[in-house]
Amino acid sequence: MSTDDASADSSAALGDEIVLTLNDEDRALSVEAGQSLRDALRANGLTGTKDGCEVGKCGACTVLKDGQAVKSCLVPAHQAAETSVTTIEGLATDGELHPVQDAFIDCFGLQCGYCTPGFVMTTVALLSETPDPSREEIRDELKGNLCRCTGYTKIFDAVEDAADRLE
């Protein structure tokens, strides 16, 4: 076996690359067999996508995949190939926070903040489809995101405030 062959075998054993649009940039992302999208994102430096329950129950790992909110711990990383993925790191524009992020801050919709990226990403998806949701629709849409700190009221307030900002 040549040196080149040996190095090709070695890199195949370490993992693979997928090509996708990540936070509005064309990117190649290193992924490993069986790895979740969440773990691939975090391994590639995007640690705003949080590592919570690992079984789809907490929503801390929520990202947008082709505009839909998905729990990235449940998405095999390879399934993100040729898709558009947005993480919390991709929401700010020219150093300005996204209006949903501003609303969460101004309405005190966070305490420890661990759940916040997931709530923000779910809210961005909700408001892109339902710009003026009722409180009931907000509760329903966010029921897959868990928060241990806030008691939810201020989070729901933040979503309503974000809807007003995006009008």
* Interacting residues with ligand FES (CB under 6 A): 52-54, 56-61, 71, 73, 110-115, 147-150
Q: How far is the CB of 14 from ligand FES (least distance, A)?
A: 24
> Strand 68-71 vs strand 84-86: parallel, antiparallel, or unpaired?
unpaired
Contact 75, 36 (CB under 8 A): yes
Q: How far is the CB of 49 from ligand FES (least distance, A)?
A: 9
Q: Residue 53 and residue 153: Cα distance in Å, rounded?
A: 23
Output 6 or 52, the one with its CB closest to ligand FES.
52
Residue 77 three-state SS: helix
**Phi, psi (5° rounding) for residue 46?**
-95, 75
Output 131 or 151, the one with its CB closest to ligand FES.
151
Output 115 or 126, the one with its CB closest to ligand FES.
115
How would DSSP label each residue in 84-104?
EEE-GGGS-BTTBPPHHHHHH
Q: How far is the CB of 10 from ligand FES (least distance, A)?
A: 31
Q: How far is the CB of 7 from ligand FES (least distance, A)?
A: 35
Contact 123, 159 (CB under 8 A): yes
Contact 98, 91 (CB under 8 A): yes
Output 12 or 105, the one with its CB closest to ligand FES.
105
Q: How far is the CB of 152 from ligand FES (least distance, A)?
A: 9
Output 97 or 152, the one with its CB closest to ligand FES.
152
